[in-house]
Structure 1
């Protein structure tokens, strides 16, 4: 039986730094910046002016956070197409499961908007991942460890 990590990567992928992996780092950093701008700038403006943005301000942390987590995991594992989609599904389901457990956890509150935000963010991350896989079809290896 193969170890669990081999569902998401291989030893060869783990040790390879290639163009896709570098693009994952860039997207992870940009997603983090956009999420934090949204949480610290966009959300207060929406709340202060009582604007109905259909819950975007409420779920921006989950929506952006899952994108950051997906690309952080892709940086670590450097997954191929099938492995990457398994990883994305694993993370999205994990986030949703964590949200469902919120009422049981100390100071936790369940919010459907967070579940929707996680699903939308996960779908966005999957689309970005697919585009990167197709755009960098000839994935140039920069170096191997």
Structure 2
């Protein structure tokens, strides 16, 4: 039996990935160059977009429900921050957690099709 992919979710994952790349290469340099304090958003762009991107990708390939995928994505990015050398930024962890909460709420509000 051929595996069915959920194209809108995969396209959403691609959107967040591209958004992260664009913001990291435009917004972040602008903020740093002009010495603007943006409450650490420029520093945590990757964390803000990583959770919804991975969540949508996992849901798109029919691996997990949206809610489990969100939880797993937050766990993966937490581990990614903590494991490499034990040096991590609390702002990155907070952004990952906040992004997970927003992603979860978006799924809850828009109630995607499929089992939950």
Residue 35 in structure 1 maps to residue 20 in structure 2:
yes
5+ residue gaps, structure 2, are: none
Q: Structure 2 length normalisation: TM-score?
A: 0.81
Superposed displacement of residue 98, structure 1: 2.6
Counterpart pick for 2:55 among 67, 70, 86: 70
Say if 2:51 and 2:70, in contact at 8 Å, map to a contact too.
no
Instruction: Measure, in 2, the Cα distance between the counterparts of 1:52 and 1:102.
Output: 28
Instruction: Indicate the SS of the match to 2:39.
Output: coil
What is the number of residues matched between the two proteins?
114
Superposed displacement of residue 22, structure 1: 2.5
Aligned to 1:103: 85
Aligned to 2:36: 51
Aligned to 1:114: 92
Superposed displacement of residue 77, structure 1: 1.8
Aligned to 2:72: 90
For residues 8-30 of structure 1, give each alpha carbon's deviation from its aligned partner in whole angstroms, at most 9, with x where no partner exists: xxxx9x8334xxx2321221122
* Structure with the higher strand share, 1 or 2: 1
Superposed displacement of residue 120, structure 1: 1.8
The alignment yields a C-alpha RMSD, in angstroms, of 2.3
CA pair 90-78 structure 1, distance change in 2 beyond 3 A: closer
5+ residue gaps, structure 1, are: 1-11, 138-145
Q: Structure 1 length normalisation: TM-score?
A: 0.67
Which structure is richer in relative contact order (CA contacts within 8 A, separation 6 or more)?
1
